[in-house]
Chain A
Amino acid sequence: MLATGLTWNLRSDVHQLLQFHFMVNAYWAGTIVAVLAGAIGWYMVLRGQAFAGHALSMVAFPGAAAAIWLGISVNFGYFGACIAAAVVIAAVPRANSGQTYSEESAVIGTVQAFALACGVLFVSLYGGFLNSLTGLLFGTFLGISDRQVVTLLVVAAAVLVVLAAVARPLFFATVDSDVAQARGVPVRMLSAVFLVLLGCTAAEVSQITGALLVFALLVMPAASAQQLTARPALGFAITIALAVGITWTGLAVAYFSVYPVGYFVTTIGMACYLLSVAIRYSAAYVTRRAPRRAVA
C-alpha cells in the first residue's frame, strides 16, 4: 500500500535516497529522534501520561514561532517552550480518581489552546511565510543542517543518560507508586524529572514530524509494543525498533512523494498499531486463552 512509489530496484532507491546531503542529515536526525521518542514514549504510555505528552508537543509550535519571530535559533524556542511547559505541568498535582469534579482537564485544555493561540500571534507578528508554518505544524525534513544534527544528538544523549540513571526507580514508581513511596523512592521527584525529559523529547521530535504530530511518534510504537509483549525489556526494545522503522520508512516514502512526512509517519504508525492488535488477538485465539493484559 505504501510502497507504490518505490516499485523499482530497491538498491537504486536507497542510493537515490541518500545521494543528497540534506537527506543523509534527515536520516541521522530521524534516527536520533526515533530512538529518543521510542524510549521516552514507552515510559509515557506505561505511566498513562499521554495527555501531558500531547500538551507538551503542542507547545513546541509557539516556541518555534516565537524564536523565528525574534530571529533567534529555533532550537532555543523548541527546547525553551517545551521544558518550561513541562515544569508547569509538573507543578500541578495530578488529579485524584476519587473526586467528582476535577479542574485538571479544563486547565490542560485552556493551556493548550492558549499556547497554540500564542503561536498564531507570533506567526502573525513575524509576517508569516505560510510554507514554513505548514512545516512547523506538519513536519519537514528539508534543510536540517549539520549543526542541528549535532544539537539533536547531544540533547538526545543527555536525555537518554538521565533516563538510564533513573530507569529502574522510575519503572518501580510507575508500576506501583504506593509501594515505591513506602520503600523510599522519591516518586514526586521522579515524576518531575520524567516530565522534563518528555519536554526535551517533544522539542526534538517536533523538528521532524511537526508540532501537531509529535504525539504520534511518542505513542504509536510504544502502544504497539505493549500489545505484543508484557515483558518490559523486550517491549522497550520493540518500541525503539518500531520507532526507527516507522521514521525511516516515513522519510523514504515522503522523499518520493509530495505529501508531508508527518502524514506518512502517522499512517505507518497506525498500521503498526492495528497490526499488533491483530497479532495479539489472533495469538490469543490460537492459544485459546483470554487475551493477556499489557503491563499495568
Chain B
Amino acid sequence: MSMLAANPFAGIAHMLGHPFLRYAFIAGTGIAIASGLVGYFIVLRQQVFTGDALSHVAFTGALAALAAGINLRIGLYGACILVALLIAALGNRGSGDDTTIGIVFAWILGLGAFFLTIYTTSRSGTAGGTTGINVLFGSIFGLSRAAAQTNAVLSLLVAVAVIGLARPLLFASIDDNVAGARGVPVRALGFALMFLVGVTAAQATQAIGALLLLGLLAAPAGAAQRLTARPFAAMWLSAAIALLSVWTGLSIAYAAPKIPPSFAIVATTTGIYLVSILVTKYARSSRLTTDAPAPVSS
C-alpha cells in the first residue's frame, strides 16, 4: 500500500512483477471488454434477468463437471452456452412467465448444491470446499498462464463478434419490428447475442464468480446508458467502465490482501454506477428547462 502511494509507477511495476497478477490482468482485461460490450446489449434489451439465470447455471454446470470428474471448464462453457441458446429459443426478450423461470433456476441452484456435496464428499480434504466457493465467488488470482491466455483469446473473439454485429444488433434491439421489416435477421441476431452472453458468463465466472458476474454485465452498461444517449458511444463507454473497474479492483485487491478481488471489482463498478446516477440527476435538475434526454427513444 505504502509502495503504491509513494511512487505509483514503481508500485505498478512491482505489482506486475508477480506472475499471478500478470495473468489476472491479462484475463481480466479480456473479460472486462467482453462483458462491457455484451452487457450493453443485455441492458438495452432488458435481459439482465438472463445474466441472473446464467449465474445459477454456471455454478451448477461447473460443479456437475467436477462431480463427474471432468474438466470444470467443459461443464461451465457447455451449460452456459446451452442454457443461453435455450433462453433465446424460448423467449421473445425473456418476457415469459417470470415465476416459472424463477422456479426452474431455483431448482438448478439446488442441484448445484447437490453436486457440490457429491464433489466434496468424493474428494478428501478441503480442496472440494474451496472449489465450490471459488466457482461462486471467483478466483482470478488463481488463474494459470494457459487459462489466462485462453480467456484473453476467447474474450477477444467475443468482442470482435459483438463489434461486428453491433449495427444490426442495435437496430434489432431498439425496434425489432421495423428492423425485421427492413430485412434484418432479428431472430438469428437474438441467438447470436445469447451465444456470446453464454461464453462471456462462463468466462466471467472464472474471474469474479458465478454469483457476481451480474455486476460486471449490468453495472457498466447501466452507467454508460446514464452518461450518454448516443448508442455507439454508450457501447464503448460500457466496455471502458468495465475495464476500469477490473483494473482498479485488481489493484485494490493487491494492495489490501484482505479484500477479495471479486469484491473490489464489483464494488468499483457499483461505485461508478452510483456516481453516474448522481451526476446525471444533478445535471438534469440544474437545467430544468430542457427535457431530460431519454437514453434511447424509438
Stretch from A79-87, A128-136, A149-157, A191-199 forming part of the interface with B: A128-136
B111 within 8 A of A: yes
A108 touches B48 (CB 8 A): yes
| A217 to B281 CA separation, bound complex (whole angstroms) | 39
Residues of A within 8 A of B152 (CB): none
B53 to chain A, nearest CB (A): 11
B235 to chain A, nearest CB (A): 14
- Neighbour of B114 across the interface among A130, A219, A260, CB < 8 A: A260
Residue of B whose beta carbon sits closest to that of A215: B106
- Neighbour of B49 across the interface among A105, A113, A116, A118, CB < 8 A: A105
Residues of A within 8 A of B106 (CB): 213, 215-216, 219-220, 266, 269
A285 within 8 A of B: no
Residues of chain B at interface, number, CB under 8 A: 61
| Residues in A53-93 with C-beta less than 8 Å from chain B | 54
Stretch from A17-25, A26-34, A43-51, A165-173 forming part of the interface with B: A43-51
Q: Is the interface of A mostly helix, strand, loop or mixed?
A: helix
A213 touches B117 (CB 8 A): no
Say whether, besides A113-B266, A220-B106, A50 and B99 are in contact (CB < 8 Å). yes
A133 touches B217 (CB 8 A): no
B99 touches A51 (CB 8 A): no
| A18 to B137 CA separation, bound complex (whole angstroms) | 36
Q: How many A-B residue pairs have CB under 8 A?
A: 174
Residues of A within 8 A of B116 (CB): 134, 138, 260
B177 within 8 A of A: no
A103 touches B225 (CB 8 A): yes
Residues of chain A at interface, number, CB under 8 A: 52
B260 touches A109 (CB 8 A): no
Stretch from A8-16, A119-127, A176-184, A200-208 forming part of the interface with B: A119-127
Residues of B within 8 A of A212 (CB): 109, 113
A106 within 8 A of B: yes
Residues of B within 8 A of A235 (CB): none
A102 within 8 A of B: yes
A109 touches B98 (CB 8 A): no
Residues of A within 8 A of B270 (CB): 110, 113-114, 117
A262 within 8 A of B: yes
A96 within 8 A of B: no
A50 touches B259 (CB 8 A): no
B7 within 8 A of A: no
B124 within 8 A of A: no
B114 touches A116 (CB 8 A): no
B186 within 8 A of A: no
Say whether, besides A45-B99, A120-B137, A223-B100, A262 and B110 are in contact (CB < 8 Å). yes
Residues of B within 8 A of A116 (CB): 137, 211-212, 266
A113 touches B215 (CB 8 A): yes
B46 to chain A, nearest CB (A): 5
A100 touches B298 (CB 8 A): yes
Say whether, besides A106-B218, A121-B263, A50 and B110 are in contact (CB < 8 Å). no
| A258 to B113 CA separation, bound complex (whole angstroms) | 11
Residues of B within 8 A of A125 (CB): 258
- Neighbour of B117 across the interface among A103, A114, A220, A259, CB < 8 A: A259
| A118 to B137 CA separation, bound complex (whole angstroms) | 11
Residues of A within 8 A of B212 (CB): 113, 116-117, 120
B43 touches A106 (CB 8 A): yes
A124 touches B266 (CB 8 A): no
| A120 to B260 CA separation, bound complex (whole angstroms) | 7
Complex A-B: 30 CB contacts under 8 Å: A50-B98, A51-B98, A54-B102, A101-B46, A101-B225, A107-B222, A109-B218, A110-B215, A114-B266, A114-B267, A114-B270, A116-B212, A116-B266, A120-B137, A121-B267, A130-B126, A134-B116, A210-B113, A213-B109, A215-B102, A216-B107, A219-B99, A219-B106, A223-B100, A258-B121, A259-B114, A259-B118, A260-B113, A267-B111, A269-B107
Query: A102-B46, A120-B212 provided; 4 other pairs, C-beta below 8 A?
Result: A106-B219, A258-B121, A263-B113, A267-B107
